[in-house]
Amino acid sequence: MNAAKSNWLILVVLLLPQLLHCGARDPSPEDARAILQQATSFYTGTCGREDLASAKRLFLKAADEGDRDGMFYLGKAYENGHGVEKSRDEAIKWYQKQAR
């Protein structure tokens, strides 16, 4: 295998897990980890575009399923005003839920 093909294969293997979370449909409601991964992809722009509104919606969905990371990221979103109106009180609420 030549170097160009080898590099391309490595790139595909590294990016494939992230790209699988970039689909148009939401993961199943009971799969909080997949929901969180897709939300993080929207939050960071891994899917080629940053979509903070979709990220917030999916973080909330993960948090509703009991995912502590989803609760943490909601706290960060409210703390920094990413996709939501900046709110110290809401940030504290989500950080406290995550800590329980």
Model confidence band, residue 11 (pLDDT cutoffs 50, 70, 90): very low
Cβ–Cβ < 8 Å for 76, 83 = no
Q: Provide the pLDDT for residue 76.
A: 93
- Residue scoring higher pLDDT (10 or 78): 78
Mean pLDDT value of segment 35-44? 88
What's the rounded Cα separation, in Å, for the pair 74 and 70? 6
Q: Provide the pLDDT for residue 31.
A: 72
Instruction: Tell me the whole-structure pTM to 2 decimals.
Output: 0.68
Where are the chain's structural domains?
A: 3-99
Cβ–Cβ < 8 Å for 27, 42 = no
Average pLDDT of the chain is 79
Least Cα distance to 70 among 30, 35, 26, 100 occurs for 35
**Cα 54 vs. chain centroid, distance in angstroms?**
9
Question: Hey, what CATH topology would domain 3-99 get?
Answer: 1.25.40
- Residue scoring higher pLDDT (7 or 60): 60
